[in-house]
Amino acid sequence: MDFVPDIRIGDGDTIPIGMTELVAVHTPGHTPDHLCFMMDTLLFTGDHIMEGSTVVMEDAGDYLDSLYRVQELHVEHIEPGHGAAMDDAGRVIDQYIEHRLERERQIVEAVRSGANSVDDIIDAVYAEVPEILRPAAAHQLQVQLDKLAGDGLVNISRAGSVYPVV
């Protein structure tokens, strides 16, 4: 049986909660339709920011843009869908942004150093990832490679080989 919602919520929509309201904030990247919800200085992040875990992305560019968007909200507290609540939200969001940018730098450097397949890049960038998580790392890597190719930082052949932009 397919779920059919009776109400659709989008960016900027509000939901009254007692004397206050939740404001929907569209944060694509994990999924195209992902929403966070803001209440005063608190942000309910769902799967956008999670304590103690890496977010699985469907679109790395959208995900990074969404991190910048929630950074501009100047929230103070984060309630993730997974993990414990986080105070000092600005610091947490900054760390997420820096992690994503650092991972991009690592991938580009690995490609410039001769890694030209997903497996080679995983070996160089995700060396600490246990074997059982390599399929998840491969998914994340492909999403990031698609972004980096769109940014003009790597080239991907039709066969899937990755090359530095010269």
Sequence length of the chain is 166
Query: Confidence band (pLDDT; 50, 70, 90) for 140?
Result: very high
Q: How confident is the model at residue 135 (pLDDT cuts 50, 70, 90)?
A: very high
Nearest to 75 by CA among 93, 89, 94: 89
For the record, the structure tokens of 86 come out as 């986080």
Domains and CATH numbers, the chain: 14-164 (3.60.15.10)
Tokens of 144: 């990031």
- Label residues 100-137 b or e (16+ Cβ within 10 Å = b): beebbeebbebbeeebbebebbbebbbeebeeeebeeb
Q: Region 122-147: what's the mean pLDDT?
A: 93
Residue with tokens 């469907």: 58
Whether the per-residue pLDDT at 103 is higher than 80: the answer is yes
Please tell me the least confidently modeled range out of 91-95, 128-132, 142-146, 162-166: 162-166
94 CA to centre of own chain: 13
Return mean pLDDT, the chain: 93
β-pair type (35-39, 14-17): unpaired
Q: How many beta carbons lie within 10 A of that of residue 93, not counting itself?
A: 25
DSSP 43: E
CA count, 13 A, side-chain hemisphere, 46: 18
Closest C-alpha among 26, 24, 52, 48 to residue 38 = 24
Higher pLDDT, 52 or 72: 72
What pLDDT digit, counting tens, does each position of 15-66 carry? 999 999 999 999 999 999 999 999 999 999 999 999 877 788 999 999 999 9
Helix (H, G, I), strand (E, B) or coil at 110: helix
